[in-house]
Amino acid sequence: MKQLQRLRSLSFLALLATAALTLQAQSTGPAPAQAKAEQFTLSNGLTLIVKPDRRAPTAVHMMWVRVGAMDEVDGTSGVAHVLEHMMFKGTADVKPGEYSRRVAALGGRENAFTTMDATGYFQQIPSDKLEDVMRLEADRFAKNQWADEEFVRELEVVKEERRQRTEDVPRSMLYEQLRGVAYQASPYRRPVVGWMSDLDAMTPQDARDFYRRWYVPANAAVVVAGDVDPAAVRRLAEKHYGSLQARPVPARKPRAEPEQAGVRRLEFKAPAEQAYVGMAFKVPQLTSFEPGGDNDDALALTVLAAVLDGYSGARLDRALTQGPNRVADSVGAGNGLWGRGPQLFHLSGVPAPGKTPAEVEAALRAEVAKVARDGVTEAELQRVKTRWIASEVYKLDSVMNQARELGGAWIMGLPLDTGDRLIARLRAITGEQVKAVAAKYFGDDRLTIGVLLPLPVDPNRKPRTPATPLRH
């Protein structure tokens, strides 16, 4: 799943689950002071965010557009992602394929991504080449154009991407269907890559219409991090982005998810070595750093996920995968902290030999119920908080991560100092709050369960080899 991806490269949860550092592992000397990010708004509505970091003569330039799969309509699922591919296919002055060659000639690397919430384009280059990539990015943002034949060819690449990353991966297919059952009104029910039938029916005009509708300056932010001066970057942005035509951002209508009443279940059969259980509970997301209510609950749920599965030997691992009576070969937990749409708390497990998906489901729910009944220890709380804070500190060593964090916060409407505020708010989460959310959000009326039922695997089946290399 992880379109879910993918990114959640923006995902705070991924950091919680994988951080392997502790505060004690930090350098014995004081950390260098981090320059503050600055934000500007150009006259056409485009946002500019600049974060100086002069430790190396490099810079990251990112174009964030607040449009993703959730902004599509039924019948054109996948068009945001297809358009992301087409943005590399040229303008009147840059021919198909030339964009990437030019960035490489500058000594840089580039790519792009699409999520439910956003589309992003990035280049990492020597800092003295920043103006060159600004010129290229502004050109394609305003003047993207391509022949129908280019669209037809690239659409086949996207279809192959769907086959490789979703249709050939049973667990990915399970999670795609799980989201489709968990959500009814929310556009989060559709996959980022799109349904294959929609891709088969997609036309060049579908992509062009989506581009003209959403790629407007007031719906975009340029983020620059690295060895740069904010005033100089602002002058370059005014020069290359300031002349882009201002247009209104289309109105977005609310698509609230109706209240669920009862467990939703699905079974998915596919050739696989083992069964798999995926459980998704509807939970609130963080919308601001104001204390109280859903914001506190979203943070406490994130801490709960870390207590359950935030490090090797965490609660789920100890209780379900160890000992002679273990019920699972592997287990997992993760919370969707934030997003433009509704979020889910996931529990998952692979049954051990001789155990059933139903036993894994019951064991996972029992561990959450144990937290709801008995709470968590202060030692557990401090351990997960320390690990997370350490990961946040070391994350700042990467200029790319700094730019991603700033852009992701802008997409969600959060402030520039989101990282600092998040640390402060998480430090304040108490064991009683974790106990309370474990009791509040894990009932049947929030739950969707998907079970992968394995079919025999064909021993003669060969892995799919793409005719065209995939971009991402």
- The residues that are catalytic are 84
Alpha-carbon span 198 to 79, nearest angstrom: 9
Tokens of 346: 């996931």
Contact (CB, 8 A) for 353 and 360: no
Alpha-carbon span 44 to 334, nearest angstrom: 39
Tokens of 387: 């690990």
Question: Positive or negative, the Cα torsion across 378, 321, 459, 454?
Answer: negative
Beta bridge partners of 454: 270
Contact (CB, 8 A) for 277 and 449: yes
Planar angle of CA 332, 181, 321, nearest 5 degrees: 20
Contact (CB, 8 A) for 118 and 64: yes
Alpha-carbon span 380 to 385, nearest angstrom: 9
What does R_g of the chain's alpha carbons equal in angstroms?
23
